[in-house]
Each structure stands twice: as C-alpha cells, then as structure tokens.
Amino acid sequence: MKILSVNAGSSSLKFQMYEMPEEKVLISGVFERIGIHESFYTIKINGEAIRKEKDLPNHKVAFQYLVEELEENHVVERLDEIKGIGHRVVQGGSYFDKSVVVTEDVIKKIEELNVLAPLHNPAAITGIKAAQEVIPNAVQTVVFDTAFHQTMPEENYIYAVPYEWYTDYKVRRYGAHGTSHMYVANRMNQILGREDTKLITCHIGNGASVSAVVNGKCLDTSMGLTPNAGLIMGSRCGDIDATVVTYMMNQLGISAQEMDNILNKKSGLLGVSNVSSDMRDIDAGILEGNERCELVKKMFIRRVIDYIAKYYVEMGGCDAIVFTAGIGEKSVTTRRRIVDGLKILGINLDEKANGIRGVEGKITTDDSKIPCYVIPTDEEVMIARDTLALIP
C-alpha cells in the first residue's frame, strides 16, 4: 500500500512515499528555503539525489512540484495508487490529542488554530487542500506535533497569568515538534538499550525546540502556546520580556497583527543579522566578518545551552543529549559551540566524530559523562505509521 507523508515546515516541505507496512521508501525529497531567495528542492530515488533550482514562493507551489516528481519518476502510474496521505500539523490545541482522518470539521478546527502556529498550520492546510484536489481518492490524515507533549505536568504547561485564561481560552503551553522529539527519543532508547532514560532532545532547524523526555514521555518542552517561544529561530524571537510587545506597539503605533507578524517573520536570526533566517547564510556572514551574524550566532548558542542546562536540573541528570533537524544534523560549528558550552557537565566533544552531517552517530568522547548523538529525525515514517492505522 502506497502512503505519502507530507511534512510542511515554516520554510521547508519534506515528503516520503512509502510502501507500507514494509516501510520501504520509494521516493523522498525536501523543498528548502520556501519563501526565501535561492530556493530549491532535492529528490532522492533509486539511490540517486537530484537537485533542482526552482522558485518556491509558497508551499502550494512546492506541493505541485512534488506531484509532478511522483508522476515523472513513475513512482505511481496513477494517482489513485496512493491510498493515504499523512500531513504533519503543528498545533492541535485542545481539540486533538491523537492523529485523525481529515474532514471538513477537522480542517475548520485547524484553521481556528492558525493564530497559535501562524507559520505552520496555514502551510499544512495548503498542503491538505492541494492533496485533496489532485488525489481525491486517498485517505487524508493529520498527525499533530502537540500530541507528544500532553504528558507534561500542570506546573510545566500552565502559565502564571489569570487562571481563567486557561479555563476559558485554553492558554497554556502546548509545545511543537512532538513527532520529531518522540522519534529521536525512541531511537535513542534503542541505542542505549533501555527505556528508563532521561533524555534532552534538541530539534534545531529554522524552527527549533528542546524537550526533556523521561522514560519515553515528555516532561517539559521549550515551545509554548505557539511555536514562538523558547529558542531563537530563523525568523521567530523565542523567549522575550512580554512587556516588549506592548511597549513597541505603542512606540511604533502598530496593531496586534502587525506585531505578531514582526515577532514571527521578522525576528530571530533574520531580525538581528538583517541578512537571512537561514543558519547557512549566517555562518557564511561570519566567515565574511559580519559582526551581527556572529552576534546572533552567539545568542542562538546561548539559548540552546540555557535550555539544556535547565532540563538537566529539572530531570535530575541526563543519560544522553540528541541533536536533530536541519541545523542539529548538519551544522558542525553549531554543535561544536553548544557542546563546548556544556563542558561544566563533563561533556567532551570528539572533533572527528562531530564532522558528520545528516547521519547518525555519537559526537562526544567515550569519557564524557553525558554522550551526545546526532540522530536524523524521521517524522515522515511516524506520519506513515499513523496514516496506515487510520485507513479502513
């Protein structure tokens, strides 16, 4: 049975076509720098990777190219061979605590939650609607990133604001990237050969979050009501003094929507550097002597270290730290600077081992008190598994 997993990020679109239940990958690809200059996508089929430079102004255009590639590479002769399409959705709010089949009511509820995930939920809806148009006979499902974080205790998800905001408006910490954190935590437990573990999982990409995972369940996570909390990200500010929002609204004379747009789309790496929201561009700027690129890199590293230290204390120790997602898997310099900042915990980087990009491996020395690993995330296979389970 052919199942397509679609994972729309804030500036990316990953996909994999599986033969299920064997979990055999037939074709995979990733569209990168969506909405950013010099966008492109890479297709991998039969062991060969093909890169194509294309203008990708939004996720809908990316999905159209995806369908073209499936047909042109003869992965399917007819689109109705695809029995299921699973979509990653960041925010399920209080409506969803598990994966579900797409209905009009489900789409409506996801749209209602756009305000909580302004860069992701609209992108996912675009993918869902495009898939419904071109592959109408497939069962469409949605897998929510918030589901994994539902095991957090109240003291970790309730905010210190009037309690009625929680009861009446569902204001609380929901987290995101749950599908990724769950996958790498499960894989880390396999590597360690045990389930009774204390893990810190670092999903570091254009969007980024850190989670504390105890015995396979989420204890705490850095993202909040929306994905714009915790770490500094590509275009999101992450944690800031809440009064900055009202202060600058008054100073600039702007609306709440305009401020939301600034904090989500014009802040983070982009806002400080004024160069790009992409860490690869920031690193290039550092090599060219751009002081603001170096500044925001330091800020980014500091915030990751802060959260790792916080969760180390909260869990009362740590059995392993995992780096995943685009920056975590591929940025050698970023990992080096994070691990170097954790030496107080008895962690020592293995420079040679840290040279890996996009493959699994341990990057610390054998005498490190806490081993650090790179584990490429596989949200797509998690999505495919849930989709298969939901097909009648």
Catalytic-role residue among 145, 220, 281, 386: 145
Burial track 277-289 (b if 16+ CB lie within 10 A, e otherwise)? bbbebbbebbeee
Out of 3.40.50.150, 3.40.50.720, 3.30.420.40, 3.40.50.12780, which CATH number does the structure's domain 2-144 have? 3.30.420.40
Pair 387, 3: CB distance under 8 Å:
yes
pLDDT at 201: 98
Q: Is the pTM of this model over 0.75?
A: yes
Query: Is 145 an active-site residue?
Result: yes
Low-confidence ranges of the chain (pLDDT < 50): none
Which tokens in the block code for residue 65? 């190219």
Half-sphere exposure (Cβ direction) of 195: Cα atoms closer than 13 Å: 2
SS3 87: strand
The separation between CA 266 and the C-alpha centre of its own chain, rounded to angstroms, equals 19
139-144 vs 82-89, strand pairing mode: parallel
**According to DSSP H, which parts of 96-151 are helical?**
104-112, 121-134
pLDDT at 126: 83
pLDDT at 8: 79
Which one, of 108, 13, 12, 24, lies nearest residue 388 by Cα?
Answer: 24
Kindly report, as residue ranges, where domains of CATH 3.30.420.40 are found in the chain.
2-144, 194-374
Out of 3.30.420.40, 3.30.70.20, 3.40.109.10, 3.20.20.70, which CATH number does the structure's domain 194-374 have? 3.30.420.40
Bridge partners of 6, per DSSP, are: 15, 87
User: What is the spatial distance between Cα 204 and Cα 297, in angstroms, rounded to a whole number?
Assistant: 13
